[in-house]
Amino acid sequence: MKVAGLEKQANKKDVFQLFAEKVRDHKDLVSRNHPELKDILESDSHLDVEDIVNVLLSNNLLVCCDRVVKTVRPRKRKLSTWLAHLEIYL
């Protein structure tokens, strides 16, 4: 019985890892909100977005970070979309 439980946990971890890699490597995603990506999660595809994010954070497949400089640079109109400096929250 314990072996089946471990296999299920390993399979679940692999599914979430595949999901994280697909979202990271998908160049055409302007927004990360594509429902067809949830199909990768198989039996866990019914989970809410917050639950999926919590699992990804707990498995270190996703890192919470924020921009270091939060003000607009002189002579610029808006913040940069390609950040050079990020602060990681642990």
The structure's pTM equals 0.61
* pLDDT greater than 50 at residue 1: no
Encode pLDDT of 27-82 as tens digits: 776 666 777 778 888 888 888 888 888 888 888 888 888 888 888 888 989 887 77
73 vs 87: CA distance, rounded Å: 18
Residues 6+ apart with CB under 8 A from 78: 72
72, exposed or middle or buried, with CB in 10 Å at 0-12, 13-18, 19+?
Answer: exposed
* pLDDT greater than 60 at residue 4: no
Joined tokens for residue 1: 């019985």
One-letter amino acid at 24 equals: R
Polymer length of the chain? 90
